[in-house]
Amino acid sequence: MKQLAFGPLMIDIGGLTLTALDKEKIAHPNTGALILFSRNFENPEQIQALIKDIRKARSGELLIAVDQEGGRVQRFQNGFTRLPPAARYADYPQLAESAGWLMAAELLAMGVDFSFAPVLDVDTGVSEIIGNRSFSTDCQQAALLASAFRRGMRRAGMSATGKHFPGHGAVALDSHLTLPIDERDLASIRHQDLVPFQKLISEGLEAIMPAHVVYPQVDELPAGFSKIWVDQILRQELGFTGTVFSDDLSMAGAAVMGDYLERAKLADQAGCDMLLVCNNATAAEQVLDGFTPKANQFRQQRLETMRGYNTISHQDLQHSEQWQNISAQLNSL
């Protein structure tokens, strides 16, 4: 039987175990990845078993991801080190790389390929959804701390995803609930928000997730649906050659682009390699069955770089002196 390649869609599941419908969707040719949420997690033993079942359900390539930034956004908690929000590393910069390593090592030991981290948004004190998820209010410090965090992730064997390009930190509204509009001009965005992205891209950043935010002085379309942002600025101007993940196409910030299938088509046309359709089973099924991606000769090799490489079991990791020391320091924060 021929092995399936990475499909262009990232989907999710509803619970702690797989249903027959889950297995059918994972096996769909358009599926390429699956994202896990808090509802899918009970403890390390359960999540390892679930991940094994997920991989068995697909005859071919599949990436497994999670949002494990720390602070407000840490899906796996029971049995995992509680990670501080990214803003805490401004006070403890020596811990940023160690934290990236520990976060990645704990997930890799479970069979997860990658976490959607680090956040590269620069906090301006107005964003409801970013806030202390940002490493700093200073773009240069944010770039340095995020770079260190990514080095730790890479040392553990995990690729990084910088989000939310070109920057979500200067708008008050939450794109999960509505479509934020950032009225600044491109020069202002380049001077501040693009600084962390530029630094990490120059260091080989593997993936980027654009924001569901409109920057009307640059383009009338949200960044993740914009060829100006994805192709012209990210790919051509900044020289990014890695994977582009759309943000969740089920979010309210994407609704302006049409129905779910239309959103997928437009994000694909803008240059996204992998399209997320999460937290809406009907939407995922519509896109899985109705979407035909445009030809993309680089999609497979880009997605291949997101595969995680683990060399240590969960038990051996927790018995290691390195993990114990770093976990204790992070727990103290």
28 part of the active site: no
- d(CA 51, CA 7) in angstroms, rounded, equals 18
Distances (CA, A) of 80 to 114, 154, 327: 15, 19, 9
For the chain, what's the residue count? 333
The pair of structure tokens assigned to 304 is 């291949």
The 3-state DSSP composition of the chain as helix, strand, coil percent (nearest 5) reads 45, 15, 45
Which listed residue (28, 67, 174, 176) is catalytic? 176
The pair of structure tokens assigned to 300 is 């497979």
Going by the DSSP 8-state scheme, the letter that residue 56 receives in this structure is H
Closest residue by Cα to residue 29 from 9, 14, 12? 9
The partner residues of 10 in beta bridges, in order of sequence, read 33, 276
176 part of the active site: yes
* b/e 306-323 (16+ beta carbons within 10 angstroms → b): bbbebebebeebbeeeeb
How far is Cα of residue 121 from the mean position of the Cα atoms in its chain?
13
Residues with Cβ within 8 Å of 194's Cβ and at least 6 positions away in sequence, in order, are: 166, 167, 238
Which listed residue (12, 193, 247, 268) is catalytic? 247
Long-range contacts of the stretch 255-261 (C-beta < 8 A, 24+): 255/179, 256/179, 256/222, 257/221, 257/222, 257/225, 259/286, 260/286, 260/287, 261/286, 261/287, 261/290, 261/291
- d(CA 234, CA 241) in angstroms, rounded, equals 9
Q: How, if at all, do strands 243-244 and 207-210 pair? A: parallel
Going by the DSSP 8-state scheme, the letter that residue 168 receives in this structure is S
- d(CA 322, CA 210) in angstroms, rounded, equals 34
Catalytic (active-site) positions: 176, 247
